[in-house]
Structure 1
Amino acid sequence: MQVHKIDTFAGHRDCVYTLDAGASSTEFFSAGADGLVVRWQLDKPDLGSLLARIPASVYALAFDPERKQLWVGQNYDGIHIIDPIQKQEVRSAQITPAAIFDIKISEGTAWIALSDGVLVVMDVAEFVVKKHLKVSDKSARAIAINPKTREVAVGYSDNGIRIFDQDGLTLKYVIPAHTNSVFTVQYSPDGRYLLSAGRDAHLKIWDVTDRYRPKNDIAAHLFAINHICYSPDGALFATGSMDKAIKVWDAETFRLLKVIDRARHAGHGTSVNKLLWSPYQHQLISASDDRLISVWEITR
């Protein structure tokens, strides 16, 4: 496996916490502690476009491909909907005074994870709250949706994962998953596995087809794992950590294939917070506390 650093996008003034893909394979969005929401183009790397200035940290972005609108979770001030083309806010809702840690949109429904442990379910078209799901007093940190089983996995700061029914909005399973906060959950593209990780630096694999039976437990990083993402073809996945490293894994065998760090590849100097694997030339995008966004070409 070969790794080549394509570019570095600079422009954020503080830690970059979140990324999401846009309407095309070359477009993506970023936000973080500086409150700046930026649109980038992988084929025009020096032309970042400022979409909004949010007066607080932004931990969560979610692009709605149907309406081509960007959902922004503002720390302590609810949801803001931005039109990336017009660079205008089109809607907002103070759904919570809590911090918003994750947003996922699927089939006209937005799932929103809050720092007070509430999982908010919103109707995207009507822009109204359908339900509040409260199953923990600790923060809901990360959301993953499995379209194959129509289940929603949510990782919490009480070390557990809850599995909800996507249609009935009911709790199906409680998994005592980790020894510390769960920061990231991700279903494999084929829906067979749920991957989870967090502050305990362990990568865990759960067998979805067998009621989430534990399949593997890997001491994957030195410090907290902040994010997991799959490659577009589903053959690989990557983990980003507080230990400053990105690791690339074989999705079938869960074998470590490559470590991307500062010493070997001029990687990030501080915590890697978010990853996004674009179908555009198979490029992997990483965001860090060092205020930078790096773009990596990975070939096998």
Structure 2
Amino acid sequence: MGIPRMSMKPLGWNRFGGWRLIASILLTFLPAIAFSQGRPDIIWAKGGHSFSVNSVAYSPDGQLLVSGSSDRTIKLWRQDGTFIKSLAIPYDINHQLFDVLSVAISPDSTLIAAGVQQTIGGGQFTSAVHIWRISDGQLVQTFTGYAIGDVTNTGVTSVAFSSDGQYLASGSKDRSVKVWRMANGTLVSSRSDHAQQVNAVAFSPDGQWLASASNDRTAKLYRTSDWGLEQTLSGHTNNIYSVAFSPDGKTLATGSWDQTVRLWNVSDWGLVFSLAQGSGVGVLAFSPDGKMLATGTWDHNIRLWDPKRGVLVDTLVGHNAFVQTLAFAPDSRTLASGSWYPEFAIKLWWPPSKRASPFAPPTVTNHSSSINELIFTANGRLISGGDTTARFWDALAGHFLSMINATASVTTMALSPDGQLIALPGANHTVKIYRTADGTLVQTLVGHTQDITGLAFSHDGTLLASGAFFDGNNDVIKLWNVSNWTLVRELSGPFLFGPFIGINFSANDALISASCESVPAVWHVSDGTFIRTFPVSGLTRFSPDGTLLTIASNPIHVYRTSDWVQVATLSDQNQALAFTPDGHYLAVGGQSQIQFWRVSDWTLQLFYDQELGYAGRGVTSLAFSLDGSRFAYGRTDAVVAVATNPFAANNHASRSTTRPAR
């Protein structure tokens, strides 16, 4: 294969002859490099979190809501819940982000701070605070200096800006309360007065006090004039997880796992009220107008209190998990809440109404797991599969249309060629067939003895293939007759075991492939004859014309189906594969990139490395629209995005050849 070369004409514009000569030599003897295009040209995206929502915060100007999650992402949302983007921490193999525990926005609404837990190798962890500029999403500062430990005693659990924006405070599992001067990043105070981890920090509105709360069942007050310890508040009988000052600065609230919230008088630190919650308190927040105090508890509820009288006003019911973060909008009219396992949801409330509006789509929460499968339909829909649901979207505008609640984790799904039926995993190792028009259950297929891991319809619509997890006894792929849902045959092979994943038919339905406990295998469909396995591991995908079989190994291998000769070795981005409908390009998604390879000469044309989720986990599914104009990608952090195909018919001619396959 020849080495591709870029046009030499641009070199003539360079008035520095020496550099022109060097450039000419490099272009002659080295393969050209495919440059990053940054962020895909996203048409729409729908966000979610695939693990606990640990912290939410509104910008003081009311334009943004930011969330931090154990799925290792920080996400920005508009006030109405529309997903905007994720903030990225540059990937460093030696300091990998493990958990985002807390977020805060500066008083001037220009900066976001996030308290995180990071791995440093050897089973050790540490903590850090990262600062982003909101206007361009750039990481501008990182505060370190925390203790090294294990997963239980590291991580910045809370961050808070002072009201004038001059200081940032943090509380950490290493028992420390640290304060930095934002102007120059100087550490001005670091104290470890608490006997156990610090769960929360908060500045008083007048800037005179910094409060901290701890698992040692105390809250401590520090003077900001000299950062000295002023007072220790005792009385709680279990961990204190939250602390907050009232907007007028006269009251301090502490929330504890002892099922009480205590209100303290700032003038003398005396106890004013002890509010019984009936369940452990994980978070509390005052409304900016001071009229309400919201508490989030283990029983999944949010309670609204009149803090002046210590009276319960309302209870907001709607979460299906522990509520562990709360934030009022600046106008006090909207309350945002985030929840823990297994819901991983952010909801918007309009107190004191009990009405909740989960983030986009407006009537249901988005996916709460990795997006495992994406399918474009002929009638303009996009179907996304994840958690226990298949969700239907308007593929052009991104509007939520409908949802099918499966009875098992949707790790795979398949759409019939006519678009009328969708196959999903079901409870008790079954396959469920639903009508896409109304979500009606049509058929339940019984026969597997483990959870379903692979599904595929043949292109002529006559067969459905299903595969399951390893059971050690009946490890086969089953082929079902779609006309009457009877079992046609079973596919097996020497030393092939489940899970059977990535099942797909060749274009003429003559062949079927699957990854069998990571071993790729191919069979004849007509009689179930086993053909061969391959000396690599990974998901399989046939090209649209059936002449190629790609295997998402590390690196990706491409085989010619006529004689099974390997024709190319591509990339180490190997979590998702999709051909363009015309078969001219192969899109590859992985931990940190989406790459586009030209099939005619297997050269890497371009890649995206932004807005792909957390670096090191990234993209889990890819699909192209039937006309090839758009592609969709799903992420480990529960985000579904639709973007313009850079090689659609109207613009692919402008792209240049770049890096050849190895």
TM-score (normalizing by structure 2): 0.41
Change (3 A) 1:202 1:151: same
Q: CA deviation at 1:135?
A: 0.8
**Contact persistence 2:250–2:265 (CA under 8 A):** yes
Q: Equivalent residue for 1:255? A: 311
Change (3 A) 1:148 1:68: closer
**Contact persistence 1:165–1:171 (CA under 8 A):** yes
1:296 equivalent among 325, 349, 353: 349
Residues 10-89 of structure 1: pairs in structure 2 closer than 5 A: 11-22=48-59, 24-43=61-80, 45-52=81-88, 55-66=97-108, 68-75=110-117, 76-89=126-139
Give 5+ residue unaligned stretches, structure 2: 1-45, 90-95, 118-125, 149-153, 354-662
Q: Equivalent residue for 2:43? A: none
Question: For 2:283 and 2:104, how far apart are their aligned partners in 1?
Answer: 15
Residues 95-123 of structure 1: CA deviation (Å, up to 9, x unaligned): 21431011111131111111121111111
State the identity %: 22
Question: For 2:273 and 2:181, how far apart are their aligned partners in 1?
Answer: 36
Question: For 2:336 and 2:281, how far apart are their aligned partners in 1?
Answer: 16
Q: Equivalent residue for 2:275? A: 218
**Contact persistence 1:59–1:73 (CA under 8 A):** yes
Question: For 2:320 and 2:294, how far apart are their aligned partners in 1?
Answer: 18
**Contact persistence 2:59–2:109 (CA under 8 A):** no
**Contact persistence 1:10–1:293 (CA under 8 A):** no
Q: Equivalent residue for 1:154? A: 212
Which residue type is aligned with residue 110 of structure 2? Answer: K
Residues 16-67 of structure 1: CA deviation (Å, up to 9, x unaligned): 0001122531311001110110000023x33331122672111111212347
Question: For 1:215 and 1:254, how far apart are their aligned partners in 2?
Answer: 9
Higher relative contact order (CA 8 A, sep 6+): 1
Residues 239-289 of structure 1: CA deviation (Å, up to 9, x unaligned): 01121000011121110011111xxxxx11000011111135711110001
**Contact persistence 1:149–1:191 (CA under 8 A):** no
Q: Equivalent residue for 2:335? A: 284
Residues 100-111 of structure 1: pairs in structure 2 closer than 5 A: 100-106=156-162, 107=164, 108-111=166-169
Question: For 2:226 and 2:301, how far apart are their aligned partners in 1?
Answer: 39
Taking only aligned residues, the RMSD between alpha carbons, in angstroms, comes to 1.9
Moved over 2 A (4+): 45-48, 52-55
Which residue type is aligned with residue 82 of structure 1? Answer: W
Question: For 2:201 and 2:285, how far apart are their aligned partners in 1?
Answer: 12
Equivalent pairs counted in the alignment come to 284
1:90 matches 2:140 = yes
Question: For 2:233 and 2:143, how far apart are their aligned partners in 1?
Answer: 32
Secondary structure of 1:295's counterpart equals strand
Which residue type is aligned with residue 93 of structure 1? Answer: F
**Contact persistence 1:144–1:153 (CA under 8 A):** yes
Change (3 A) 1:10 1:226: farther
Question: For 1:249 and 1:65, how far apart are their aligned partners in 2?
Answer: 26
Question: For 2:78 and 2:264, how far apart are their aligned partners in 1?
Answer: 35
Secondary structure of 2:97's counterpart equals coil
Residues 161-216 of structure 1: CA deviation (Å, up to 9, x unaligned): 1111011100011111310111011111122211111211111111222x211122
Question: For 2:272 and 2:140, how far apart are their aligned partners in 1?
Answer: 44
Secondary structure of 1:159's counterpart equals coil
Question: For 1:41 and 1:83, how far apart are their aligned partners in 2?
Answer: 16
**Contact persistence 1:37–1:51 (CA under 8 A):** yes
Question: For 1:144 and 1:161, how far apart are their aligned partners in 2?
Answer: 11
Question: For 1:52 and 1:129, how far apart are their aligned partners in 2?
Answer: 24
More strand by share: 1
Question: For 1:141 and 1:24, how far apart are their aligned partners in 2?
Answer: 27
2:170 equivalent among 103, 106, 112: 112
**Contact persistence 1:161–1:177 (CA under 8 A):** no
Change (3 A) 1:226 1:249: same
Question: For 2:324 and 2:298, how far apart are their aligned partners in 1?
Answer: 7
Which residue type is aligned with residue 192 of structure 2? Answer: K
Question: For 1:67 and 1:238, how far apart are their aligned partners in 2?
Answer: 23
Which residue type is aligned with residue 308 of structure 2? Answer: E
Secondary structure of 2:82's counterpart equals strand
Change (3 A) 1:195 1:280: closer
1:274 matches 2:334 = no
Question: For 1:67 and 1:30, how far apart are their aligned partners in 2?
Answer: 15
Q: Equivalent residue for 2:457? A: none
Question: For 1:281 and 1:200, how far apart are their aligned partners in 2?
Answer: 28
- The structure that has the greater radius of gyration is 2
**Contact persistence 1:19–1:29 (CA under 8 A):** yes
**Contact persistence 2:288–2:332 (CA under 8 A):** no
Give 5+ residue unaligned stretches, structure 1: 1-8, 262-266
2:242 equivalent among 184, 197, 201: 184
Question: For 1:293 and 1:67, how far apart are their aligned partners in 2?
Answer: 21
TM-score (normalizing by structure 1): 0.89
**Contact persistence 1:79–1:95 (CA under 8 A):** no
Q: Equivalent residue for 1:6? A: none
**Contact persistence 2:205–2:245 (CA under 8 A):** no
Change (3 A) 1:67 1:283: closer
